[in-house]
Structure 1
Amino acid sequence: MERYDYNLPYMLQYEHVAWYEEGEVKILDRRIYPKEVSYVNCKSYMDVRQAIKDMVTQSAGPYTAAGMGMALAAYQARNLKDDDKIEFLKNASEQIATARPTTENRMRKITENSLDIGIKAIKEKKDPAEAIKNDTIKSLNRRYSTMEIVAKNLCLLIKDGDKILTQCFGETIIGMMLRILKEEEKNVSFYCAETRPYYQGARLTATCCSEMGFETTIVTDNAIAYLMENIGIDLFTSAADTITRDGNVANKIGTYQIAILSKHFNIPYYVTGIPDDDKYTREDITIEMRDPNLVLEGRTAKNVKALYPSFDITGKEFIDKIVTDKGNYDPENLHTYFDSETKRFY
């Protein structure tokens, strides 16, 4: 089967995102990568759900884990009667889709498609686990190839010599952007906001940028204004966990404040991704609240509290372009994305 993960960083190659094989799903533990290259081995679909919930994998990684988790669910149900297999897969689809609330709509597209593939295989007396795994690889190819188009559109906005600020870890768009910039021989440098408390920017984005040969610098989340004022940034870019039809985006906590600073310093902010057809306004976005102990980490007095929203919402007035597979849109015109035929993404 053709694959689109060629010449990408280690952690973006399919087997190193999440992979089903012989009754087990192996997921690269991004909470400790690259300091340690370790995998979480899931023996059940509920293990996969928990791994997603615990952020073993983040960004687009959960979509791959979800598909591979559905293959594992089919394997778990291998000795059941056909009707019971289908019910087992239906429950697995619901459990995995709801692992994290903000991206539930996208996860459900993955798991419900896997469910359909599994049911079809069961009725045709084929192996549903293998059918779901193969379809998950097709989904990976579809997402990677689509994001390659997005990356090409983004790279049209990047000039040789640019200093680029990133936020969190955009997964596929990061890999594709780096691959295209390398092919175009553009000499750019990256400044990666560390993205506390999981440090996805420092550990994941910065690792990918450096691995691909680009000059890479990590900055603390509270040094962005200093960076913009004293070092100089040419553009800020991020992916998005949700893009509403009216041009608002939800992304990793801290994105909103960087967008405000970008506006203040006249630095363009380019959001990359595919708009969500089922989310119309910011009111359709659910913000996931995570365990505050992840922020505290034993650094303060026992009676001190913490607040840890996983995402924030950036209004369209702070975004210069939303970069998609159909081109680069002004946020207020993003609704026209759906005026023409859209390709399947998930």
Structure 2
Amino acid sequence: MELRTVWWEDDAVCLIDQRKLPHTMEVVRCTDLAAVAYAIRSMQVRGAPAIGCTAAYGMALVAQQSVALTPSALLTELVQAKATLDSQRPTAVNLAWATSRMLRRAEAVASEGVEAIKHALHAEAEAIFAEDLAMCHAIGEHGASLIPPRGHVLTHCNAGGLATAGYGTALAPIRTAFAQGRPVHVFVDETRPFLQGARLTAWELLQAGIPQTLITDNMAAFMMQRGQIDCVIVGADRIAANGDVANKIGTYGLAVLARYHNIPFYVAAPSSTIDLATASGADIPIEERDPAEVTHIAGVAIAPQGVRAAHPAFDVTPNELVTAIITERGIVRPPYLAALRQLESGR
């Protein structure tokens, strides 16, 4: 029921190349900062929690490879590494959250010397990974109770084990409910243009033996109209202080459809995805990716040469369309401005 998405092995950051799935399982070994940055930017690794874990290991890798003779010199290298990693994908808050935590840890032990920093950062990266895995299981326990008795759930993108330390956020309630012996059937949005649903979520559910039906993105409204969807569960890359949610492009449309059809729309995310410093979704930076990812699939052109294409990688769902937010510390309901602050103050 768990995947190993990213891990530390033999002084390298290892990860599954998610661009090759579902047809090829290929492990990438990142042996320097440039390789880790490329893995994040190119979407060899993707999903906000998994990116955070990868960045944490990347900071540890920089420390391990440093030849700095003084703590101050090493801290300078780590500040530069953080800037490099943070710039790769600006929407997912977990990335900067993880690198900031690593930098704070380095600063906390700097007085003990260079070797103390190196040891502390490796331990901190492992702690971030372990905490993420535990958070995903807790999200599953809290969220399973929200899945209606028939268990027909629509998902978008991939917020499963591949997007996290190994169990998932949006898929966690589904996995938990299935493990409890409850009826579950997942309708998997293909998620154009990168096809994370078709390539990754469908693959994960097959591995877990969970019943599923793959649909194209533009089938979702029809499935809702026919009464085939009981609830929608998606992940998140950033949740603003007012409860607005940034997630994979297409999420906002599903939320609008769910509201029209009176279907609960749930967001599952660890508390590290909540960004109280961002007041609303209007303040969340939206990553613009290469338009070639729209005009091509797996390197094959599907549009006329020379056509202009847009590729915002994320959209923002207004908080009033979100029925509840499922975190590792419980289920958060509106009004989100107060509820999210209360959740964070209880850390």
Q: Does the Cα contact within 8 Å between 2:148 and 2:230 map onto a contact in 1?
A: no
**C-alpha separation between the residues in 1 aligned to 2:262 and 2:158?**
23
Q: Does the Cα contact within 8 Å between 2:333 and 2:339 map onto a contact in 1?
A: no
Quote the residue 1:5 is aligned against: none
Quote the residue 1:227 is aligned against: 223
Cα drift, residue 145 of structure 1: 2.0
Q: Is 1:208–2:204 an aligned residue pair?
A: yes
**C-alpha separation between the residues in 2 aligned to 1:180 and 1:342?**
28
Quote the residue 1:311 is aligned against: 314
Quote the residue 1:153 is aligned against: 142
RMSD of equivalent CA atoms: 2.1
For the structure 1 residues 222 and 340, does the alpha-carbon distance in structure 2 shift closer, same or farther, using more than 3 Å as the test? closer
Q: Does the Cα contact within 8 Å between 1:44 and 1:72 map onto a contact in 2?
A: yes
Cα drift, residue 19 of structure 1: 2.2
Cα drift, residue 200 of structure 1: 1.1
Cα drift, residue 121 of structure 1: 5.3
Cα drift, residue 119 of structure 1: 4.5
**C-alpha separation between the residues in 2 aligned to 1:217 and 1:249?**
26
Out of 169, 176, 192, the residue aligned to residue 180 of structure 1 is: 176
Moved more, 272-281 or 309-318: 272-281
Give the counterpart letter for 1:24 in structure 2.
A
Quote the residue 2:81 is aligned against: 92
Question: 5+ residue gaps in structure 1?
Answer: 1-7
Q: Does the Cα contact within 8 Å between 1:262 and 1:268 map onto a contact in 2?
A: yes
**C-alpha separation between the residues in 2 aligned to 1:120 and 1:330?**
36
Cα drift, residue 209 of structure 1: 2.1
Q: Deviations over 1:147-169 (max 9, x none)?
A: 33322221111133221000111
Q: Is 1:19–2:7 an aligned residue pair?
A: yes
Q: Deviations over 1:202-257 (max 9, x none)?
A: 22222222222211111111111222223611111101111112121111000111
Tell me: higher relative CO, structure 1 or 2? Use CA pairs within 8 A at least 6 residues apart.
2
For the structure 1 residues 68 and 341, does the alpha-carbon distance in structure 2 shift closer, same or farther, using more than 3 Å as the test? closer
Question: Percent of pairs identical after alignment?
Answer: 29
Give the counterpart letter for 2:35 in structure 1.
D
Q: Is 1:9–2:2 an aligned residue pair?
A: yes
Moved more, 240-249 or 21-30: 21-30
Quote the residue 1:337 is aligned against: 340
**C-alpha separation between the residues in 1 aligned to 2:337 and 2:57?**
32
Moved more, 61-70 or 294-303: 294-303
Q: Does the Cα contact within 8 Å between 2:170 and 2:233 map onto a contact in 1?
A: no
Quote the residue 1:110 is aligned against: 98
Cα drift, residue 42 of structure 1: 1.6
Q: Using structure 2 for the length normalisation, give the TM-score.
A: 0.88
Cα drift, residue 130 of structure 1: 4.1
Q: Is 1:47–2:43 an aligned residue pair?
A: no
Quote the residue 2:18 is aligned against: 30
Out of 247, 259, 263, the residue aligned to residue 243 of structure 2 is: 247
Out of 147, 150, 155, the residue aligned to residue 166 of structure 1 is: 155
**C-alpha separation between the residues in 1 aligned to 2:2 and 2:24?**
16
Moved more, 106-115 or 194-203: 106-115
Cα drift, residue 62 of structure 1: 0.8
Cα drift, residue 33 of structure 1: 1.7
Q: How many residue pairs are counted as aligned between the two chains?
A: 330
Quote the residue 1:218 is aligned against: 214
3-state secondary structure, aligned to 2:326: strand
Give the counterpart letter for 1:20 in structure 2.
W
Quote the residue 2:326 is aligned against: 323
Out of 58, 61, 64, the residue aligned to residue 75 of structure 1 is: 64
Out of 258, 264, 276, the residue aligned to residue 260 of structure 2 is: 264
Quote the residue 2:164 is aligned against: none
